[in-house]
Structure 1
Amino acid sequence: MTTEQFWDERYGQSDRIWSGEPNAALVREVTGLTPGTALELGCGEGGDAIWLAGQGWRVTASDISRIALARAAEHAEAQGVADRIDWQRHDLAATFPAGRYDLVTAGFLYSPELPRTEILRTAAEAVTPGGTLLILGHGPWPDWHQGPRPDIELPTPDELLADLALPGWQVLTCSEHERTQTGPDGQPLVRIDNTLKLRRPTTA
Protein backbone atom coordinates (compact mmCIF):
# COMPACT_ATOMS: atom_id res chain seq x y z
CA MET A 1 0.00 0.00 0.00
CA THR A 2 1.36 3.42 -0.95
CA THR A 3 1.25 6.38 1.42
CA GLU A 4 -1.49 7.96 -0.69
CA GLN A 5 -3.56 4.77 -0.53
CA PHE A 6 -3.01 4.57 3.24
CA TRP A 7 -4.41 8.06 3.84
CA ASP A 8 -7.21 7.77 1.28
CA GLU A 9 -8.29 4.57 2.99
CA ARG A 10 -8.22 6.22 6.40
CA TYR A 11 -10.22 9.25 5.27
CA GLY A 12 -12.61 7.01 3.39
CA GLN A 13 -13.59 5.14 6.56
CA SER A 14 -15.91 7.94 7.74
CA ASP A 15 -17.47 11.20 6.59
CA ARG A 16 -15.19 13.19 8.89
CA ILE A 17 -12.12 12.27 10.93
CA TRP A 18 -11.27 15.60 12.54
CA SER A 19 -13.49 18.11 14.36
CA GLY A 20 -13.31 20.79 11.68
CA GLU A 21 -12.09 23.29 14.28
CA PRO A 22 -8.64 24.88 13.96
CA ASN A 23 -5.88 23.57 16.19
CA ALA A 24 -5.83 25.62 19.38
CA ALA A 25 -2.03 25.93 19.30
CA LEU A 26 -2.13 27.31 15.75
CA VAL A 27 -4.78 29.86 16.74
CA ARG A 28 -2.70 30.90 19.74
CA GLU A 29 0.53 31.31 17.77
CA VAL A 30 -0.89 32.94 14.63
CA THR A 31 -3.26 35.41 16.30
CA GLY A 32 -1.57 38.80 16.13
CA LEU A 33 0.44 38.09 12.98
CA THR A 34 -0.28 40.34 10.01
CA PRO A 35 -2.17 38.24 7.44
CA GLY A 36 -0.33 37.59 4.21
CA THR A 37 0.42 34.41 2.30
CA ALA A 38 0.39 31.08 4.13
CA LEU A 39 1.35 27.52 3.28
CA GLU A 40 -0.06 24.62 5.26
CA LEU A 41 1.55 21.20 4.94
CA GLY A 42 -0.66 18.21 5.68
CA CYS A 43 -3.93 20.15 5.74
CA GLY A 44 -6.23 17.13 6.11
CA GLU A 45 -9.88 18.14 6.06
CA GLY A 46 -8.99 21.82 6.10
CA GLY A 47 -9.80 23.09 9.60
CA ASP A 48 -6.62 25.15 9.99
CA ALA A 49 -6.54 26.41 6.38
CA ILE A 50 -10.17 27.52 6.57
CA TRP A 51 -9.53 29.37 9.84
CA LEU A 52 -6.47 31.10 8.34
CA ALA A 53 -8.47 32.16 5.30
CA GLY A 54 -11.17 33.52 7.58
CA GLN A 55 -8.52 35.67 9.32
CA GLY A 56 -7.48 37.23 6.00
CA TRP A 57 -4.64 34.95 4.94
CA ARG A 58 -4.32 33.77 1.33
CA VAL A 59 -3.61 30.07 1.83
CA THR A 60 -1.98 27.30 -0.14
CA ALA A 61 -2.96 24.04 1.55
CA SER A 62 -1.49 20.67 0.61
CA ASP A 63 -2.18 17.06 1.49
CA ILE A 64 -1.43 13.67 -0.02
CA SER A 65 -5.04 12.45 0.17
CA ARG A 66 -7.41 13.37 -2.65
CA ILE A 67 -10.34 12.46 -0.41
CA ALA A 68 -9.19 14.83 2.32
CA LEU A 69 -8.62 17.66 -0.17
CA ALA A 70 -12.05 17.22 -1.76
CA ARG A 71 -13.65 17.24 1.68
CA ALA A 72 -11.66 20.33 2.70
CA ALA A 73 -12.71 22.19 -0.45
CA GLU A 74 -16.37 21.45 0.33
CA HIS A 75 -15.96 22.77 3.87
CA ALA A 76 -14.21 25.93 2.58
CA GLU A 77 -17.06 26.54 0.15
CA ALA A 78 -19.58 26.20 2.96
CA GLN A 79 -17.62 28.69 5.09
CA GLY A 80 -17.39 31.23 2.25
CA VAL A 81 -13.58 31.25 1.99
CA ALA A 82 -13.05 28.99 -1.04
CA ASP A 83 -11.63 31.88 -3.08
CA ARG A 84 -8.81 32.38 -0.53
CA ILE A 85 -7.49 28.81 -0.54
CA ASP A 86 -5.53 26.92 -3.21
CA TRP A 87 -5.80 23.19 -2.48
CA GLN A 88 -2.85 21.18 -3.84
CA ARG A 89 -2.10 17.46 -3.71
CA HIS A 90 1.52 16.69 -2.87
CA ASP A 91 3.41 13.68 -1.65
CA LEU A 92 5.88 15.84 0.24
CA ALA A 93 8.52 13.13 -0.01
CA ALA A 94 8.50 13.73 -3.78
CA THR A 95 7.05 17.19 -4.54
CA PHE A 96 6.61 20.47 -2.67
CA PRO A 97 4.40 23.53 -3.28
CA ALA A 98 6.20 26.26 -5.20
CA GLY A 99 6.80 29.77 -3.94
CA ARG A 100 7.62 31.59 -0.72
CA TYR A 101 5.18 32.44 2.04
CA ASP A 102 4.87 34.79 5.01
CA LEU A 103 3.74 31.84 7.15
CA VAL A 104 4.53 28.16 6.69
CA THR A 105 2.83 25.80 9.09
CA ALA A 106 3.02 22.02 9.57
CA GLY A 107 0.73 20.54 12.18
CA PHE A 108 1.33 16.95 13.28
CA LEU A 109 3.02 16.06 10.01
CA TYR A 110 3.66 12.38 10.61
CA SER A 111 3.39 9.36 8.36
CA PRO A 112 5.26 6.05 8.17
CA GLU A 113 8.55 6.44 6.29
CA LEU A 114 8.01 10.18 5.82
CA PRO A 115 11.34 12.10 5.78
CA ARG A 116 9.88 14.67 8.17
CA THR A 117 13.05 16.58 9.09
CA GLU A 118 14.06 16.98 5.44
CA ILE A 119 10.56 18.19 4.55
CA LEU A 120 10.61 20.70 7.40
CA ARG A 121 13.98 22.02 6.20
CA THR A 122 12.39 22.54 2.78
CA ALA A 123 9.49 24.24 4.54
CA ALA A 124 11.95 26.65 6.17
CA GLU A 125 13.36 27.52 2.75
CA ALA A 126 9.82 28.44 1.65
CA VAL A 127 9.48 31.14 4.35
CA THR A 128 9.93 34.72 3.18
CA PRO A 129 12.58 36.86 4.91
CA GLY A 130 11.02 38.02 8.17
CA GLY A 131 8.33 35.35 7.88
CA THR A 132 7.27 32.67 10.33
CA LEU A 133 7.69 28.89 10.47
CA LEU A 134 5.26 27.11 12.80
CA ILE A 135 5.61 23.40 13.57
CA LEU A 136 3.19 21.58 15.87
CA GLY A 137 4.02 18.08 17.06
CA HIS A 138 3.29 15.31 19.52
CA GLY A 139 5.28 14.46 22.60
CA PRO A 140 6.06 10.82 23.48
CA TRP A 141 3.30 8.23 23.28
CA PRO A 142 1.30 8.46 26.54
CA ASP A 143 0.97 5.45 28.81
CA TRP A 144 -2.78 5.25 28.16
CA HIS A 145 -2.37 4.99 24.37
CA GLN A 146 -3.74 1.72 23.06
CA GLY A 147 -3.18 0.10 19.69
CA PRO A 148 -0.14 0.14 17.43
CA ARG A 149 2.57 2.73 17.97
CA PRO A 150 4.03 3.39 14.52
CA ASP A 151 7.78 3.55 14.19
CA ILE A 152 7.71 7.35 13.99
CA GLU A 153 10.16 9.64 15.75
CA LEU A 154 8.55 12.17 18.09
CA PRO A 155 11.33 14.66 18.89
CA THR A 156 11.03 17.35 21.51
CA PRO A 157 10.90 20.93 20.18
CA ASP A 158 14.50 21.44 21.32
CA GLU A 159 15.62 18.32 19.45
CA LEU A 160 13.77 19.43 16.33
CA LEU A 161 15.30 22.89 16.55
CA ALA A 162 18.77 21.33 16.67
CA ASP A 163 17.97 18.97 13.78
CA LEU A 164 16.70 21.78 11.55
CA ALA A 165 19.95 23.74 12.04
CA LEU A 166 18.65 27.18 11.07
CA PRO A 167 21.32 29.67 12.19
CA GLY A 168 20.15 33.23 12.62
CA TRP A 169 16.46 32.34 12.97
CA GLN A 170 14.71 33.87 15.99
CA VAL A 171 13.09 31.36 18.33
CA LEU A 172 9.66 32.73 19.26
CA THR A 173 8.19 29.61 20.88
CA CYS A 174 9.84 26.33 21.82
CA SER A 175 7.66 24.61 24.35
CA GLU A 176 5.55 21.65 25.38
CA HIS A 177 1.96 21.87 26.58
CA GLU A 178 -0.83 19.60 27.72
CA ARG A 179 -3.84 18.94 25.53
CA THR A 180 -7.01 17.19 26.69
CA GLN A 181 -8.72 14.82 24.28
CA THR A 182 -11.65 12.47 24.58
CA GLY A 183 -10.73 8.80 24.98
CA PRO A 184 -12.53 5.80 23.49
CA ASP A 185 -14.71 5.53 26.61
CA GLY A 186 -15.66 9.20 26.47
CA GLN A 187 -13.41 10.18 29.36
CA PRO A 188 -10.92 13.07 29.06
CA LEU A 189 -7.30 12.06 28.51
CA VAL A 190 -4.24 14.31 28.64
CA ARG A 191 -1.54 14.25 25.99
CA ILE A 192 1.66 16.28 25.67
CA ASP A 193 2.09 18.25 22.43
CA ASN A 194 4.78 20.72 21.46
CA THR A 195 5.22 23.91 19.46
CA LEU A 196 8.20 25.34 17.60
CA LYS A 197 7.75 28.82 16.14
CA LEU A 198 10.61 30.56 14.38
CA ARG A 199 11.11 33.82 12.50
CA ARG A 200 13.40 33.92 9.49
CA PRO A 201 16.00 36.70 9.42
CA THR A 202 14.95 39.67 7.27
CA THR A 203 18.25 39.50 5.39
CA ALA A 204 17.77 35.86 4.27
Structure 2
Amino acid sequence: MPHDSTIPDHAYWDARYTESDRMWSGRPNAPLVRETAGLIPGTALDLGCGEGADAVWLAEQGWHVTAVDVSRVALDRAARHARETAADAAHRIDWQWCDLASSFPAGSFDLVSAHFLHSPSDMPRDEILRKAASAVAPGGILLVVGHAAAPTQDHGPHPDLHFPTPDEVLAALGLPDGEWEVLRNEEHQQAMTGPDGRPGTRTDNTLKLRRVPA
Protein backbone atom coordinates (compact mmCIF):
# COMPACT_ATOMS: atom_id res chain seq x y z
CA MET A 1 0.00 0.00 0.00
CA PRO A 2 1.28 3.55 -0.68
CA HIS A 3 2.54 5.50 2.29
CA ASP A 4 0.53 8.52 3.43
CA SER A 5 2.79 10.85 5.40
CA THR A 6 -0.14 11.83 7.62
CA ILE A 7 -0.50 8.26 8.88
CA PRO A 8 1.72 7.31 11.86
CA ASP A 9 4.27 4.57 11.23
CA HIS A 10 2.59 2.13 13.59
CA ALA A 11 -0.73 2.50 11.77
CA TYR A 12 0.93 2.15 8.37
CA TRP A 13 2.77 -1.05 9.32
CA ASP A 14 -0.21 -2.53 11.13
CA ALA A 15 -2.19 -2.03 7.94
CA ARG A 16 0.57 -3.58 5.83
CA TYR A 17 0.69 -6.66 8.03
CA THR A 18 -3.07 -7.12 8.02
CA GLU A 19 -3.08 -7.25 4.21
CA SER A 20 -1.98 -10.91 4.42
CA ASP A 21 -1.70 -13.75 6.91
CA ARG A 22 2.10 -13.65 6.61
CA MET A 23 4.34 -11.01 5.08
CA TRP A 24 7.73 -12.72 5.43
CA SER A 25 9.05 -16.26 4.94
CA GLY A 26 9.27 -17.30 8.60
CA ARG A 27 12.97 -18.14 8.10
CA PRO A 28 15.85 -16.19 9.66
CA ASN A 29 17.75 -13.82 7.42
CA ALA A 30 20.74 -15.58 5.87
CA PRO A 31 23.25 -12.83 6.79
CA LEU A 32 22.24 -13.15 10.44
CA VAL A 33 22.85 -16.90 10.41
CA ARG A 34 26.17 -16.46 8.63
CA GLU A 35 27.52 -13.55 10.65
CA THR A 36 26.63 -14.91 14.09
CA ALA A 37 28.22 -18.30 13.44
CA GLY A 38 30.81 -18.90 16.14
CA LEU A 39 29.60 -16.14 18.45
CA ILE A 40 29.01 -17.09 22.07
CA PRO A 41 25.31 -16.48 22.79
CA GLY A 42 24.61 -13.61 25.12
CA THR A 43 22.15 -10.74 24.96
CA ALA A 44 20.79 -9.57 21.61
CA LEU A 45 18.68 -6.66 20.41
CA ASP A 46 16.65 -7.22 17.23
CA LEU A 47 15.54 -3.87 15.77
CA GLY A 48 12.46 -4.02 13.55
CA CYS A 49 11.86 -7.69 14.32
CA GLY A 50 8.73 -8.00 12.16
CA GLU A 51 7.15 -11.42 12.44
CA GLY A 52 10.01 -12.63 14.61
CA ALA A 53 11.96 -15.16 12.55
CA ASP A 54 15.37 -13.71 13.46
CA ALA A 55 14.53 -13.36 17.15
CA VAL A 56 13.19 -16.92 17.34
CA TRP A 57 16.26 -18.32 15.62
CA LEU A 58 18.60 -16.42 17.94
CA ALA A 59 16.69 -17.68 20.99
CA GLU A 60 16.98 -21.22 19.70
CA GLN A 61 20.77 -20.75 19.58
CA GLY A 62 20.76 -19.68 23.23
CA TRP A 63 20.60 -15.87 22.93
CA HIS A 64 18.41 -13.79 25.24
CA VAL A 65 16.69 -11.49 22.81
CA THR A 66 14.95 -8.14 23.11
CA ALA A 67 12.88 -7.92 19.92
CA VAL A 68 11.21 -4.63 19.04
CA ASP A 69 8.88 -3.43 16.31
CA VAL A 70 6.51 -0.54 15.62
CA SER A 71 3.68 -2.89 14.58
CA ARG A 72 1.66 -4.61 17.29
CA VAL A 73 0.19 -6.88 14.60
CA ALA A 74 3.70 -8.07 13.73
CA LEU A 75 4.63 -8.54 17.40
CA ASP A 76 1.52 -10.64 18.06
CA ARG A 77 2.41 -12.85 15.12
CA ALA A 78 6.01 -13.06 16.27
CA ALA A 79 5.05 -14.18 19.78
CA ARG A 80 2.67 -16.77 18.33
CA HIS A 81 5.39 -17.99 15.96
CA ALA A 82 7.74 -18.42 18.92
CA ARG A 83 5.18 -20.37 20.95
CA GLU A 84 4.30 -22.64 18.02
CA THR A 85 7.78 -23.36 16.65
CA ALA A 86 10.22 -22.83 19.51
CA ALA A 87 8.36 -23.40 22.74
CA ASP A 88 11.56 -24.31 24.61
CA ALA A 89 13.22 -21.04 23.58
CA ALA A 90 10.26 -18.64 23.60
CA HIS A 91 10.95 -17.59 27.20
CA ARG A 92 14.27 -16.12 26.06
CA ILE A 93 12.53 -13.45 23.95
CA ASP A 94 11.19 -10.16 25.28
CA TRP A 95 8.80 -8.74 22.66
CA GLN A 96 8.54 -4.94 22.95
CA TRP A 97 6.52 -2.39 21.05
CA CYS A 98 8.78 0.53 20.17
CA ASP A 99 8.65 3.42 17.73
CA LEU A 100 12.36 3.79 17.08
CA ALA A 101 11.82 7.25 15.64
CA SER A 102 11.02 8.53 19.13
CA SER A 103 12.35 5.98 21.64
CA PHE A 104 14.93 3.22 22.00
CA PRO A 105 15.19 0.09 24.19
CA ALA A 106 17.23 0.46 27.35
CA GLY A 107 20.31 -1.59 28.11
CA SER A 108 23.48 -2.81 26.43
CA PHE A 109 23.75 -5.93 24.30
CA ASP A 110 26.35 -8.37 23.00
CA LEU A 111 24.67 -8.28 19.59
CA VAL A 112 22.59 -5.51 18.04
CA SER A 113 20.99 -6.55 14.77
CA ALA A 114 19.19 -4.27 12.31
CA HIS A 115 18.02 -6.17 9.24
CA PHE A 116 16.28 -4.22 6.48
CA LEU A 117 15.39 -1.30 8.71
CA HIS A 118 13.82 0.68 5.88
CA SER A 119 10.55 2.56 5.74
CA PRO A 120 8.79 4.72 3.15
CA SER A 121 8.21 7.23 5.92
CA ASP A 122 10.75 9.84 6.96
CA MET A 123 12.30 7.51 9.52
CA PRO A 124 15.53 8.88 11.11
CA ARG A 125 17.49 5.73 10.22
CA ASP A 126 20.96 7.23 10.76
CA GLU A 127 20.00 8.45 14.22
CA ILE A 128 18.50 5.07 15.09
CA LEU A 129 21.65 3.25 13.98
CA ARG A 130 23.82 5.60 16.03
CA LYS A 131 21.72 4.68 19.08
CA ALA A 132 22.13 1.03 18.07
CA ALA A 133 25.90 1.41 18.10
CA SER A 134 25.76 3.03 21.54
CA ALA A 135 23.81 0.01 22.79
CA VAL A 136 26.57 -2.46 21.86
CA ALA A 137 28.51 -3.72 24.86
CA PRO A 138 32.34 -3.75 24.75
CA GLY A 139 33.41 -6.71 22.65
CA GLY A 140 29.93 -6.92 21.11
CA ILE A 141 28.75 -6.87 17.52
CA LEU A 142 26.70 -4.37 15.51
CA LEU A 143 25.20 -6.02 12.43
CA VAL A 144 23.42 -3.81 9.89
CA VAL A 145 21.98 -5.48 6.79
CA GLY A 146 20.04 -3.45 4.26
CA HIS A 147 18.86 -3.22 0.69
CA ALA A 148 21.31 -1.64 -1.72
CA ALA A 149 18.71 -1.20 -4.48
CA ALA A 150 15.17 -2.17 -5.38
CA PRO A 151 14.75 -5.66 -6.93
CA THR A 152 15.48 -5.70 -10.66
CA GLN A 153 11.92 -6.77 -11.46
CA ASP A 154 10.44 -3.90 -9.43
CA HIS A 155 9.81 -1.04 -11.83
CA GLY A 156 7.63 1.00 -9.50
CA PRO A 157 8.70 4.50 -8.50
CA HIS A 158 10.81 4.92 -5.36
CA PRO A 159 11.60 8.65 -5.59
CA ASP A 160 12.07 9.27 -1.88
CA LEU A 161 13.63 6.01 -0.72
CA HIS A 162 17.42 6.03 -0.70
CA PHE A 163 19.30 2.76 -0.20
CA PRO A 164 22.65 3.64 1.41
CA THR A 165 25.86 1.78 0.69
CA PRO A 166 27.65 0.13 3.63
CA ASP A 167 30.30 2.87 3.41
CA GLU A 168 27.56 5.48 3.78
CA VAL A 169 26.12 3.63 6.77
CA LEU A 170 29.56 3.45 8.37
CA ALA A 171 30.23 7.15 7.78
CA ALA A 172 26.81 8.14 9.18
CA LEU A 173 27.51 6.23 12.41
CA GLY A 174 30.31 8.68 13.25
CA LEU A 175 32.16 6.13 15.34
CA PRO A 176 35.17 7.22 17.41
CA ASP A 177 38.55 6.21 15.98
CA GLY A 178 40.09 3.15 17.56
CA GLU A 179 36.94 1.96 19.31
CA TRP A 180 35.49 -0.20 16.54
CA GLU A 181 36.75 -2.92 14.23
CA VAL A 182 35.17 -3.44 10.80
CA LEU A 183 34.67 -7.17 10.29
CA ARG A 184 32.61 -7.04 7.11
CA ASN A 185 31.68 -4.29 4.66
CA GLU A 186 30.27 -5.65 1.43
CA GLU A 187 27.44 -5.84 -1.06
CA HIS A 188 25.98 -9.18 -2.16
CA GLN A 189 23.48 -10.17 -4.81
CA GLN A 190 20.90 -12.91 -4.64
CA ALA A 191 18.17 -14.31 -6.84
CA MET A 192 14.60 -13.68 -5.81
CA THR A 193 11.05 -14.00 -7.09
CA GLY A 194 8.73 -11.02 -7.06
CA PRO A 195 5.14 -11.02 -5.77
CA ASP A 196 3.92 -11.58 -9.33
CA GLY A 197 6.19 -14.60 -9.79
CA ARG A 198 8.72 -12.88 -12.02
CA PRO A 199 12.36 -13.86 -11.34
CA GLY A 200 14.93 -11.19 -10.63
CA THR A 201 17.84 -10.27 -8.41
CA ARG A 202 18.27 -8.07 -5.39
CA THR A 203 21.44 -6.42 -4.10
CA ASP A 204 21.83 -6.11 -0.34
CA ASN A 205 24.70 -5.00 1.85
CA THR A 206 26.18 -6.07 5.16
CA LEU A 207 28.08 -4.01 7.68
CA LYS A 208 29.46 -5.94 10.67
CA LEU A 209 31.34 -4.08 13.38
CA ARG A 210 32.91 -5.17 16.64
CA ARG A 211 33.20 -2.79 19.57
CA VAL A 212 36.74 -3.07 20.90
CA PRO A 213 36.78 -4.15 24.56
CA ALA A 214 37.80 -1.41 26.97
TM-score normalized by the length of structure 1: 0.96
Q: Which amino acid aligns with 1:146?
A: H
> For the residues of structure 2 that align with 1:192 and 1:88, how far apart are their CA atoms?
30
> For the residues of structure 1 that align with 2:151 and 2:78, how far apart are their CA atoms?
30
> For the residues of structure 2 that align with 1:131 and 1:65, how far apart are their CA atoms?
27
Alignment of 1:19-30 (within 5 A): 19-30=25-36
Q: Secondary structure at the match of 1:103?
A: strand
Q: Number of aligned pairs?
A: 203
Counterpart in the other structure of 1:64: 70
Percent sequence identity over aligned pairs: 61
Q: Which runs of 5+ in 2 are unaligned?
A: 1-6
Alignment of 1:82-161 (within 5 A): 82-111=90-119, 112-149=121-158, 151-161=160-170
Which 4+ residue blocks in structure 1 deviate beyond 3 angstroms?
none
Q: Secondary structure at the match of 1:137?
A: strand
Q: Which amino acid aligns with 2:104?
A: F
Q: In 2 relative to 1, CA 150–38 (structure 1 residues): closer, same or farther, beyond 3 Å?
A: farther
Q: In 2 relative to 1, CA 144–182 (structure 1 residues): closer, same or farther, beyond 3 Å?
A: closer
> For the residues of structure 2 that align with 1:2 and 1:159, how far apart are their CA atoms?
27
> For the residues of structure 1 that align with 2:92 and 2:172, how far apart are their CA atoms?
33
> For the residues of structure 1 that align with 2:173 and 2:8, how far apart are their CA atoms?
27
Q: Secondary structure at the match of 2:182?
A: strand
Selected match of 2:206 from 189, 192, 195: 195
* 1:73 Cα offset (Å): 0.1
* 1:42 Cα offset (Å): 0.1
* 1:150 Cα offset (Å): 5.6
Selected match of 2:42 from 28, 36, 43: 36
Counterpart in the other structure of 1:183: 194
Task: After superposing the two structures, state which structure 1 stretch, 44-53 or 158-167, moved more.
Answer: 158-167
* 1:148 Cα offset (Å): 3.7
Counterpart in the other structure of 2:4: none
> For the residues of structure 1 that align with 2:73 and 2:128, how far apart are their CA atoms?
22
Q: Which runs of 5+ in 1 are unaligned?
A: none
Q: Secondary structure at the match of 1:69?
A: helix
